[in-house]
Amino acid sequence: MPDFELGITPWRMALDAAGLSAQAVQAEAWGYRSFFLPESHFLESSSIPDPLLVLAAVAAQTSKLTLGTTSWLLPIRQPLLAAEQAASLDQLCRGRLVLGLGRGYQRGMLEAFGVNSADKRDRFDAVLSAMQSAWSGEPVAGQPVFPRPLQQPHPPLWVAAFGPKAIAQAGRLGLPYFASPVESLAELQANYARHEEALAEHGNGGEILRPIMRTVFVADSPARVSEVRDKLAALPSPPFRKGPQPAPEDWCLLGTATEVSEQIASYRDALQMTHLVAVRPRVPGIATPWLTDSFAALADIAG
């Protein structure tokens, strides 16, 4: 079975450098190996439109954590500037950066940035190719690009994907598929099979990481677990899912420490999961102490 690393996303999400840095420091103390931020736009209370900028603040307060993005949206970026920004952060954090890359799925958001939704995959390819050329030292307008990433040839690249086309794109590029926190174990098995087929079709062999985001809640109290489960069960199906939302047990790691430990083992057996990136339950009304207790318990389980 492959090696396994545990990562985390913030349990309180707000554009607050001190608050997010404090959560990263706590995660590092618990023993987490990585700290990831999403990219989000047009959310009144929790937008993080530039996760690399925020991760620079986190880098100054941590020393061991890998720092990553869950879905840095390439189609809306100018490729040369994006390459410089990522390389700068990789230098600032001394090579601790992982770039989870995405296309975006909300038509309105893409169009607000001047991107036709139908062109997002082609735009993703074009931006990524230009960034990789810049990182390699290929001149732009006759000038070499600096800084270069500390990690050579560039920071690790993971591709966040939902549908078959996006998963096939990750395989064609020879990059890891970074699985979302909302798909069931059975759906992930099918997705990884598609990814393997695409890797093979395009001659991309060798070992490929299998990083997976999962919604996690751990508690010794059955009543607390039941309350969170009920909140998760009441969530509407996400816009990219066809059909009803599966039961929380199908897409969350949820229960006592013993139960969640067994669930993690089943994911590792079924999917050869190499990285678990834990996500808070995205429902209102969960007290912060419940979340911190949950993530502390998860670190103990994985440790």
Task: Give residue 62's pLDDT.
Answer: 97
Rounded to an integer, the average pLDDT of 159-180 is: 94
Task: Give residue 236's pLDDT.
Answer: 82
Is the model's pLDDT at 240 over the cut of 80?
no
Is the model's pLDDT at 41 over the cut of 90?
no
Rounded to an integer, the average pLDDT of 247-263 is: 96
Which tokens sit at 41?
A: 């736009």
Rounded to an integer, the average pLDDT of 122-140 is: 94
Q: How confident is the model at residue 23 (pLDDT cuts 50, 70, 90)?
A: very high
Q: How confident is the model at residue 207 (pLDDT cuts 50, 70, 90)?
A: confident
**What percent of the chain clears pLDDT 70, i.e. is strictly above it?**
98
**Structure confidence by residue, pLDDT tens digits, 117-127:** 899 999 999 99
Strands 211-218 and 252-255: parallel
Fold entry, domain 5-302: TIM Barrel (3.20.20)
Task: Give residue 1's pLDDT.
Answer: 52
Task: Give residue 107's pLDDT.
Answer: 85
Rounded to an integer, the average pLDDT of 51-74 is: 97
**What percent of the chain clears pLDDT 90, i.e. is strictly above it?**
81
Question: Cα-Cα-Cα-Cα dihedral of 41, 43, 46, 49, to 10°?
Answer: 10
Task: Give residue 206's pLDDT.
Answer: 83
| Mean pLDDT over the full length of the chain | 93
Q: How confident is the model at residue 85 (pLDDT cuts 50, 70, 90)?
A: very high
Q: How confident is the model at residue 2 (pLDDT cuts 50, 70, 90)?
A: low
Task: Give residue 231's pLDDT.
Answer: 95
CB neighbours of 171 closer than 8 A, spacing ≥ 6? Answer: 177, 194, 195, 196, 197, 198, 199, 201, 202, 204
Report yes or no: 73 and 47 within 8 Å, Cβ to Cβ: no
**Structure confidence by residue, pLDDT tens digits, 213-232:** 999 999 999 999 999 999 99
